[in-house]
Amino acid sequence: MKLQGNTILITGGSGGIGLAFAKRFVAGGNEVIITGRNADKLAAAAKETPALKTIRSDAGDAGAITALAAEVKEKYPKLNVLFNNAGVMQFRNLAVAEDFESLTTELDINLAGPIRLVSAFVGLLKANKGTIINVSSGLAFVPLPAAPVYCATKAAMHSYTLSLREQLADHGVEVIELMPPAVKTDLAALPEEGVKVITTDVLVDATMKALAKGQVEIRPGQANGLRFMNRMAPGFIHKQLAKGSKGLIPTAE
């Protein structure tokens, strides 16, 4: 992927990882559009970085994605990078029944959202010989038991991205998967034992270097370690994550 002269759409770009990448891409000479559900956060991001374009949208809402695609295609026909970053993480107690709507929030945003967004923009990306960047997680390899649905969505995103890469290869669309380790954001509190949390700046630095080298599966820091441990000692690493996250499981009421 080239690092300059792109028109990039970043979902979930009003904070955390998405905003960090948006700022770096803008500084590198790219046109960047960010989306998010919170209008105030989008306005704050645009005030801090005036070059950013903002569109209020919800990655978990099919109708919102349809509207987003129509607006982007009209205003930004040169779009050549779709950065599927929007995501939510919730700790859950699977021994307690939940209402069905909240139970699938992570599925709607983390998995269905990117799949729908790819479908909505694939024609434009093919025409512009573009790039898709899907953000999954190091937890795609080894689940954190306290966040079972989140981890399941990331494992599914990894599998989907592998297939997407193969299917779009002949159409000139590059498909990249970014698999972050634990990053210091507002996504969720993570277990302290055995977990090295990195900053968004460290993640962006490592990712930019990998993009410049043409890597299509980027596993910074402990994300690569999780992949390795899942291959070499799966029982051990599963038990370690289970032990470290036990206190994060909500208690039954």
Cβ atoms within 10 Å, residue 30? 19
Reading phi first (left if > 0) and then psi (alpha if -120 to 50, else beta), residue 89 is in beta
Token code pair at residue 17 = 């990882």
Query: Annotated active-site positions, please?
Result: 150
pLDDT tens per residue, range 147-204: 999 999 999 999 999 999 999 999 999 999 999 988 877 655 555 555 678 889 999 9
Please state which CATH number belongs to domain 7-248.
Answer: 3.40.50.720
Average pLDDT on 97-118 reads 95
Token code pair at residue 85 = 């970053």
Q: Which residue has the higher pLDDT, 235 or 115?
A: 115
Task: Tell whether pTM > 0.85.
Answer: yes
